Structure 1
Amino acid sequence: MRLRTILIFSLLTVLAWSVGCAQQPEFLYGKVIDAETKEPVSFATIRIQNKAIGVISNDDGGFAIPMKFKEIGEILEITSMGFREQKILISELTSEQINIIMLFPKAIELQEVEVAAKKRRKLSAIEIVRKAITAVPANYPLYSFATVGYYRDYQKKESQYINLNEAILGVFDEGFDTSDNESTSIRIYDYRENMDFQRDTIAQKPYNYKSGLKVIDNAFLWNYGGNEFTILRIHDALRNYDMDSYSFVHRLKYDFVENHSFSREKNTYLADEPLYNISFRKQGPRHYGYGTLYISQRDFSIYKMEYAVYDRLKTIPGNNGNKNETEEQLIFEVITEYQRVNNKMFLNYISFNNTFRLMEPPKFKIEEMSLDLNKLCFVVIFNKEPERRSAVITRFYSLKYKGKRIKLEEIEMEKKRAYLYPKFRTVAESSSFFKELNSYRNKDDMIDLKLFSFEVKSIIDEEGNEINTPTYGNFNQFREFFVQQVKPYATGPEDSLYMTKDKPIFENQPIVKPDDFSELWMNTPLKTIDN
Structure 2
Amino acid sequence: MFRILNVETNAPVPYATIRFAKTKNDTIANVLGDFRIPFRYKNEQEILNISCIGYYSKKIKLNNLENAPYHVIYLTPKTEELTTVVINSKKKHSTKNIVQKAIDNIETNYPIEPYSYIGYYRDYQFVDEEYFNLNEGIVEVFDKGFKTHKISNPLNQTALYRYKLNSEFAQDSLLSHAIYNGAKQIKDGKMGSAIGNELTLLNIHNPIRNYNTGSFSFVYVFKTDFIKNHSFKNKGLVFLDNEELYKTEFSALKNITGSAYKASGYIYISKLDFAIHQFEYKLYSISPRQLILSLNIEYNKQENGKMYLNYITFNNNFFITQNEALQIESSYFNNSNQRFVIKFNRALDLKSIEKLNNIKITFKDRKLSIYNIEAIDKKTIEVQFKKEDSNFLNENDYTNQALFDIRLKNFQDVLGLGMGKSKLEGHQFRELFVQSVNFKENLSSNLKFIDKGASLNSEPINNVNIDDYWLNSPLKEINTNMKD
TM interval, shorter chain, is 0.7 to 0.9
Aligned partner of 1:157: which letter?
V
Q: Return 5+ residue gaps in structure 1 as ranges.
A: 1-28, 315-327, 371-378, 393-411, 422-458
RMSD between superposed Cα atoms in Å: 3.3
After superposition, where does 1:99-498 map in structure 2 within 5 Å? 99-108=71-80, 119-183=89-153, 184-206=156-178, 209=181, 214-222=184-192, 224-282=194-252, 283=254, 284-285=257-258, 286-314=260-288, 328-341=289-302, 342-359=304-321, 365-368=327-330, 383=344, 419-420=401-402, 461-463=407-409, 469-495=420-446, 497-498=448-449
Q: Are 2:159 and 2:447, in contact at CA under 8 Å, matched by a contact in 1?
A: no
Displacement after TM superposition at 1:58 (Å): 1.2
> Deviation digits for residues 309-331 of structure 1, max 9, x if unmatched?
000111xxxxxxxxxxxxx2100
* SS of 2:63 mapped into structure 1: helix
Query: In the alignment, which residue of structure 2 is the partner of 1:512?
Result: 462
Are 2:60 and 1:88 equivalent residues in the alignment? yes
Q: Are 1:362 and 1:467, in contact at CA under 8 Å, matched by a contact in 2?
A: no
> Deviation digits for residues 437-472 of structure 1, max 9, x if unmatched?
xxxxxxxxxxxxxxxxxxxxxx98343989972243
TM-score w.r.t. the length of structure 1 is 0.72
Displacement after TM superposition at 1:114 (Å): 8.3
Query: In the alignment, which residue of structure 2 is the partner of 1:322?
Result: none
> Deviation digits for residues 227-254 of structure 1, max 9, x if unmatched?
1100000011111000011111111011
- How has the CA–CA distance of structure 1 residues 54 and 104 changed in structure 2, closer, same or farther, with 3 Å as cutoff? same
Displacement after TM superposition at 1:387 (Å): 7.0
> Deviation digits for residues 390-427 of structure 1, max 9, x if unmatched?
999xxxxxxxxxxxxxxxxxxx9x99986359xxxxxx
Q: Return 5+ residue gaps in structure 2 as ranges.
A: 333-339, 345-357, 367-392, 412-416, 480-484
Displacement after TM superposition at 1:51 (Å): 3.7
Query: In the alignment, which residue of structure 1 is the partner of 2:472?
Result: 523
* SS of 1:66 mapped into structure 2: coil
Q: Are 2:121 and 2:431, in contact at CA under 8 Å, matched by a contact in 1?
A: yes
- How has the CA–CA distance of structure 1 residues 460 and 492 changed in structure 2, closer, same or farther, with 3 Å as cutoff? farther
Displacement after TM superposition at 1:206 (Å): 3.8
Query: In the alignment, which residue of structure 2 is the partner of 1:447?
Result: none
Aligned partner of 1:357: which letter?
F
Report sequence identity in percent: 33
Q: Which runs of 4+ in 1 moved over 6 A?
A: 360-363, 389-392, 414-417, 464-468
Displacement after TM superposition at 1:158 (Å): 4.1
342-351 vs 223-232, greater mean Cα deviation: 223-232
- How has the CA–CA distance of structure 1 residues 215 and 47 changed in structure 2, closer, same or farther, with 3 Å as cutoff? same
TM-score w.r.t. the length of structure 2 is 0.79
Give the greater-gyration-radius structure (CA).
1
Displacement after TM superposition at 1:271 (Å): 1.2
Aligned partner of 1:94: which letter?
E
* SS of 1:69 mapped into structure 2: helix
- How has the CA–CA distance of structure 1 residues 524 and 269 changed in structure 2, closer, same or farther, with 3 Å as cutoff? closer
- How has the CA–CA distance of structure 1 residues 281 and 97 changed in structure 2, closer, same or farther, with 3 Å as cutoff? same
Query: In the alignment, which residue of structure 2 is the partner of 1:9?
Result: none
Aligned residues: 420
Structure-2 separation of matches of 1:185 and 1:391: 68
* SS of 1:161 mapped into structure 2: strand
